[in-house]
Amino acid sequence: MNIADIKKTIIKEILNIAPEIEEAEIVDDENIQHSLEIDSFDFLKILIALNEKLGVEVPEADYTKVDTLNKMVDYFSKRL
């Protein structure tokens, strides 16, 4: 899976968990929870969905390493 595929998968899961969000609202370098106004429970659901899709678990200690789209792409690409 390449970087573009990982990014598409992450965006798809964000939109699945928060269907009220438009894809254009997801900014690469902005904090996902703050910029999209999603709560910590939805953020956790996104990480769980990504674990199921990509097979990479994000421990709570690493949540700050996946708080933007770019950080998520980097985190998952290094662990696949």
Residue 21 sits in a domain whose CATH number is: 1.10.1200.10
Look at the pTM and tell me if it is higher than 0.75.
yes
Outline where the chain has alpha helix (H).
3-17, 32-36, 40-54, 69-79
Name the residue range of residue 46's domain.
Answer: 3-79
What's the whole-number mean pLDDT along residues 8-31?
97
User: What digits encode the pLDDT tens for the residues 24-78?
Assistant: 999 999 999 999 999 999 999 999 999 999 999 999 999 999 999 999 999 999 9
Residues 6+ apart with CB under 8 A from 27: 35, 69
pLDDT at residue number 16 = 97
How many independent structural domains does the chain possess? 1
